[in-house]
Amino acid sequence: MVTEQNAKRWAERDAAAVSDFIERFAAQLVEAGMTRMPARVFAALLASDSGAMTSAELGEQLKVSPAAVSGAIRYLAQVSMVSRERQPGSRRERYRVHNNQWYEALTNRDAILKRWTDALREGVTSLGPDTPAGRRLSETVAFFDFMQVELVGMLERWREHREQVFGS
């Protein structure tokens, strides 16, 4: 059931405009490779003032079943895009997207890039560095090495910029 506080917030807004935003942004996420329902759930969480909603609230907002929300949340939690928390005094879980969501997502991608780079280095050794495939893998390794160095610096600059613009 939608909490009174969230219902009031949604009522103060143009519900159609909010739903349109959610669907448009979700479509952008789908175009970038995310599956549809996790994209819609993530967009709905981003659009909520609290950044947190229950499964029932998400289902009502998106007009989908609890099973659809559950599957989407499972995926989003696995890729660290949402976290689960218990509602105080309840057995219900709330799902939260954090204000520094994009920072966290990129930080997690850094670990993935490291694993890919390690696997690709093994591939270069296996294929031979002087073969066409080995050279192609070597260039990919160099690209990922470059991305990791740049990502670390970029994330540090973001932390500084975020603090200046939004405070700690």
Instruction: Identify the pLDDT of residue 70.
Output: 94
pLDDT higher than 60, residue 7: no
Spans of all domains in the chain: 4-96, 101-166
Instruction: Identify the pLDDT of residue 21.
Output: 95
**Which whole number is the average pLDDT over 11-34?**
90
| Separation between Cα atoms, residue 8 and residue 159, nearest integer Å | 33
pLDDT higher than 50, residue 1: no
Express each pLDDT in 19-30 by its tens digit: 999 999 999 999
Q: Which secondary structure element, helix H or strand E, spans residue 120, and what is its range?
A: helix 101-127
Contact between 57 and 70 (Cβ < 8 Å): no
Express each pLDDT in 50-60 by its tens digit: 899 999 999 99
Express each pLDDT in 111-145 by its tens digit: 788 889 999 999 999 999 999 999 999 999 999 99
| Separation between Cα atoms, residue 78 and residue 75, nearest integer Å | 5
CATH code matching the domain that covers 4-96, chosen among 2.40.50.100, 1.10.10.10, 1.20.1600.10, 3.40.50.740: 1.10.10.10
Instruction: Identify the pLDDT of residue 44.
Output: 96
Which among 70, 53, 69 has a CA at the least distance from the CA of 9? Answer: 53
